[in-house]
């Protein structure tokens, strides 16, 4: 196969959904990609010589130890001493460079509750990064009672409303100033509404819609005033992100979902069987009610053009998202603001009655019980590779096996030697189920990339982790996972 043909095949496959790509390609990955990928990639980089390319083709795949280093690069864990959340594990594995996924976790400072978010970007990482830096504060502000909101606005505006963990995203100073001004106006608007401190579900929806509106206005308003486009805010506007955010306060779990990330609850029955409770519903062409909603918002004559090739206007896979304003703005706004920069093709084909896209989330509520052991929030890079049932079983097995990372503790004093021997024999047998990774999110990613019906195949894992970026996206997407563990004893004592 020539490099030009391979290039054509790669570009054609990238327009398809990941699951369809995998079905079409089948074993082609192993037989062709692993042989041609390095040379294909380097054919576009004249600084790489043919000798170097040939050497790369023959290079030994990463060892199990090197694979583990790659998988653990972005993992993070946090434990808590009170409340219904006992701990959480999170991790990311990039396919795009830079990665377009982001995630954020934090505790509300002025109200009770914990916030966890996973954001899957597309068209670049700008939108998902901005959302991860701003959304939790928008939610926390909407939860504040009027008196606390007024105090915060007058005294503590320089302080964040959420104590975040593992926040590695940095934004340009120019963007920070713009964001601060928008947030201050948002707080004033909340005070004027006289209904700040709404229930969590209302606050989640309000915060997401308001942030989406602010990101749009941060591009449009300066352009209206002086005819100048800010390239930094425009970068955010031209990209997009889907979002899945959880608010956990005692036994109360709220999930707000925009797009095709998913949240799944792992529940253990009295018979010690794991049940996967999928809380969210994806906003894509496979969701019949979502298609019905979309069709009802536009004239009947557009029924055949709204969804083409299983995508919104033939272009966007999620049917709801934040950002992506070229599917939301009027034709006039796009013509004035975007066409001079990007040309007339920036207007999607059959773009007659915008907006075609919304950031309005579906909000779900679940009251946690002692049977609910953990929550998995993940981008579709994980769900493309495994089912919700598989994910819950994997985390359930990981919970059982990871206790062996800790030293053996005798259950009581004055234990007999025979009982100690039985305990050691049982522990030796159980060690067979000890997972390779202490972090459950890493455990899921390892199985998502390298898993087979017989377990993790190192050869598959090593090859998929060593593919060049141009080819990698054909076989896996960016993966982001957060696994939240609940304190069963705390939940058992919560009043019904």
Answer whether residue 417 shows pLDDT above 90: no
Do residues 222 and 303 both lie within one domain?
yes
Quick one: pLDDT band at residue 491, thresholds 50, 70, 90? very high
- Which of 138, 208, 132 lies closest to 166, judged by CA? 132
Number of domains in the chain: 2
Judge whether 380 lies within some domain: no
Whether 447 contacts 439, CB under 8 Å: no
The pLDDT value recorded for residue 474 is 86
Do residues 40 and 118 both lie within one domain?
no
To which H or E segment does residue 392 belong? Answer: helix 388-401
Do residues 51 and 146 both lie within one domain?
no
Q: Give the range of the structural domain holding residue 292, as residue numbers without chain letter.
A: 100-261+288-365
Residues 251-261 have pLDDT tens digits of: 999 999 999 99
308/285 Cα distance (integer angstroms): 10
- In the chain, % of residues over pLDDT 70: 84
The pLDDT value recorded for residue 402 is 66
Do residues 227 and 346 both lie within one domain?
yes
Judge whether 78 lies within some domain: no
Q: Which pTM was predicted?
A: 0.86
333/315 Cα distance (integer angstroms): 20
Do residues 230 and 317 both lie within one domain?
yes
Decide which of 36, 59, 82 is a domain's last residue: 59
Burial bucket for residue 202 (CB in 10 Å: 0-12, 13-18, 19+)? middle
Quick one: pLDDT band at residue 1, thresholds 50, 70, 90? very low
Judge whether 115 lies within some domain: yes
Q: List the CATH number of the domain containing 305.
A: 3.60.40.10
Judge whether 270 lies within some domain: no
Do residues 144 and 12 both lie within one domain?
no
Report how far apart, in Å, the C-alpha atoms of 167 and of each of 77, 322, 350 are. Answer: 13, 20, 40
Judge whether 226 lies within some domain: yes
Label the pairing between strands 362-367 and 252-258: antiparallel
Residues 68-127 have pLDDT tens digits of: 999 999 999 999 999 999 999 999 999 999 999 999 999 999 999 999 999 999 999 999
Do residues 34 and 141 both lie within one domain?
no
Answer whether residue 6 shows pLDDT above 50: no
Do residues 53 and 139 both lie within one domain?
no
Quick one: pLDDT band at residue 131, thresholds 50, 70, 90? very high
Mean pLDDT of 22-38: 44
Judge whether 424 lies within some domain: no
Do residues 108 and 20 both lie within one domain?
no
DSSP 260-309: S-EEEEEEE-TTS-EEEEE-----STT-HHHHHHHHHTS-GGGHHHHEET
Residues 201-234 have pLDDT tens digits of: 999 999 999 999 999 999 999 999 999 999 999 9
Q: Who contacts 339 (Cβ-Cβ below 8 Å, separation ≥6)?
A: 346, 347
Beta strand segments in 321-429, E: 322-323, 362-367, 372-378
Decide which of 59, 92, 108 is a domain's last residue: 59
Do residues 202 and 324 both lie within one domain?
yes
Do residues 50 and 132 both lie within one domain?
no
Judge whether 237 lies within some domain: yes
Answer whether residue 406 shows pLDDT above 90: no
* Residue 377 bridge partners (DSSP): 263, 482
Whether 465 contacts 454, CB under 8 Å: no
User: Is the pLDDT higher at 168 or at 23?
Assistant: 168
Do residues 139 and 7 both lie within one domain?
no
Judge whether 152 lies within some domain: yes
How many other β-carbons are positioned within 10 Å of the β-carbon of residue 299?
10
């Amino acid at each position: 196969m020539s490099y030009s043909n391979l290039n054509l095949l790669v570009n054609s496959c990238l327009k398809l959904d990941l699951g369809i790509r995998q079905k079409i390609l089948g074993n082609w990955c192993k037989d062709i990609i692993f042989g041609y990928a390095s040379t294909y990639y380097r054919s576009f980089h004249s600084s790489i010589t043919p000798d170097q390319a040939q050497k790369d083709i023959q290079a030994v795949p990463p060892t199990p130890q090197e694979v583990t280093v790659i998988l653990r690069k972005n993992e993070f864990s946090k434990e808590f001493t009170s409340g219904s959340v006992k701990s959480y594990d999170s991790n990311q594995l990039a396919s795009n460079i830079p990665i377009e996924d982001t995630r954020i976790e934090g505790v509300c400072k002025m109200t009770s509750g914990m916030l966890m978010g996973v954001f899957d970007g597309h068209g670049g990482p700008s939108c998902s990064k901005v959302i991860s830096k701003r959304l939790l504060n928008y939610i926390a502000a909407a939860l504040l009672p009027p008196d606390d909101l007024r105090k915060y606005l007058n005294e503590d505006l320089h302080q964040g409303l959420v104590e975040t963990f593992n926040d590695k995203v940095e934004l340009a100073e120019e963007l920070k100033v713009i964001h601060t001004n928008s947030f201050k106006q948002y707080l004033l608007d909340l005070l004027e509404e006289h209904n700040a401190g709404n229930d969590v579900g209302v606050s989640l929806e309000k915060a997401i819609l308001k942030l989406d509106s602010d990101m749009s206005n941060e591009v449009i308003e300066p352009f209206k005033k002086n005819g100048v486009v800010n390239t930094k805010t425009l970068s955010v506007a031209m990209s997009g992100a889907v979002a899945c955010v959880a608010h956990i306060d005692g036994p109360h779990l709220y999930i707000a979902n925009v797009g095709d990330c998913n949240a799944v609850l792992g529940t253990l029955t009295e018979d010690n069987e794991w049940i996967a409770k999928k809380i969210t519903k994806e906003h894509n062409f496979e969701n019949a009610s979502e298609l019905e909603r979309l069709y009802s918002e536009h004239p009947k004559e557009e029924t055949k053009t709204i969804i083409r090739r299983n995508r919104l206007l033939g272009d966007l896979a999620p049917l709801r998202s934040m950002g992506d304003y070229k599917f939301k703005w009027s034709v006039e706004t796009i013509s004035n603001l975007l066409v001079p920069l990007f040309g007339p093709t920036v207007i999607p084909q059959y773009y007659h009655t915008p907006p075609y896209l919304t950031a309005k989330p579906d909000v779900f509520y679940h009251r946690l019980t002692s049977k609910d052991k953990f929550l998995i929030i993940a981008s579709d890079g994980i769900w493309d590779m495994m089912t919700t049932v598989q994910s819950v079983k994997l985390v359930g097995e990981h919970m059982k096996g990871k206790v062996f990372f800790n030293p053996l503790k005798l259950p009581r004093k004055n234990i007999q030697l025979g009982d100690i021997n039985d305990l050691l024999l049982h522990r030796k047998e159980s060690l067979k189920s000890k997972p390779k990774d202490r972090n459950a999110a890493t455990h899921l990613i390892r199985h998502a990339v390298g898993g087979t019906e017989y377990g993790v195949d190192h050869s598959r894992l090593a090859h998929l982790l060593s593919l060049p970026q141009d080819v990698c996206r054909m076989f896996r997407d960016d993966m982001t996972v957060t696994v939240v563990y609940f304190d069963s004893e705390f939940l058992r004592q919560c009043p019904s």
